[in-house]
Amino acid sequence: MAETQRVAIVTGAAGGIGRAMTRALLAAGIGVAGVDRDRGPLEALAASAHEQSKTADLLTIQTDLTNDAAADEITRATRARFGRIDILVNNAGIGPGAIRPDSWQRPLKFWEITPDQWRRFVAVHTTAPLALTNAVVPEMMRQGWGRIVNVTTSLGTMLNAGSPTYGPSKAALEAPSAIMAKDLDGTGVTVNVLVPGGITNTPMASESGLDRAKMIQPEVMAPPLVWLVSDAAGKVTGRRFLGVHWDPTLPPEEAAEKAGALVAWTSIATMPDHPEQVLENPRPGENREAADTRTRIGFFPGGAANDP
């Protein structure tokens, strides 16, 4: 393995979308630690890497992301094998079928969800991505280069009836993605969201009864992902991209413009107003800096703006 080879962690790597993204990263010369819960699909992923002549570039890690120790286990194993972590793709997902196998035919109602079921979806879709990002970001900041790609879901799926666990828990990763991008601005570490853009031909849709040939195919995720984790996209952060709208016949920058928008749809949202700061005159014995600080704290508890 070349010393300059980039290394990625991909969660949910053995499923439909994860498998397509893992294959694309391997084809681009990137080492991959592929994480999944089930051994059988991971073995199939390893066989696929062998067909690509990329066996040495793939590490498979079987673990359950609902475990608090998973992030440490994954990052330790990746560093032990490759010596570094440059890219994190938070892709793992569990669908309503994990609660009710015929959920396509008998959609779930929110009042049917137990606390344990809710916690499981949040653990996989929200908590694990945050824990993994926290575990890799310090190293990325030190090296001045890193890529975080969060796979959330489309707005329609977030709001769909019958999706009281999947939609909200995937939506809960959207806001942190925007915050991560702001916190990491200027560090060389980017954070973006990438989604297929609709119902995708994956095992999660196997019981849908829909024509799988007419679904979005997982491979639409490959071209935008490979570009997002490249040096060419070093200034692209805080964006969300729809794989189905990515035109691979266009130069990547043009394709990104066509397929992208701001994370969390802030370009179309009505953002909250904040009261303007009215600077007070210094009190006796107080300099201007102290007066300004007192004014800011008065308007914004803790010295920071609060949403109404």
| Catalytic residue positions, numbered | 166
Cα 31 from Cα 10, distance rounded (Å): 10
Q: CA angle, corner 46, sides to 39 and 79, nearest 5? A: 85
The candidate with the shortest Cα–Cα distance to 195, out of 161, 169, 220, is 220
Output b/e per residue, 30-44; b: 16+ Cβ within 10 A. bbbbbbbbeeebbee
Q: Which residues contact 244 (CB under 8 A, 6 or more apart)?
A: 196, 197, 198, 216, 220
Q: Are 33 and 26 in contact (CB under 8 A)?
A: no
Q: What order do you get walking across the sheet with 239-242 strand by strand? A: 58-62, 31-36, 7-11, 87-90, 146-150, 189-195, 239-242, 260-262
Burial class of residue 285 in the structure, from the number of CB atoms within 10 Å of its CB (0-12 exposed, 13-18 middle, 19+ buried): exposed
Looking only at the bridges linking them, the beta strands covering 58-62 and 189-195 are unpaired
Backbone dihedral region for residue 63 (phi beyond 0: left; psi -120 to 50: alpha; all else: beta): beta
Cα 159 from Cα 188, distance rounded (Å): 34
Amino acid sitting at position 227? W
Q: Are 125 and 65 in contact (CB under 8 A)?
A: no
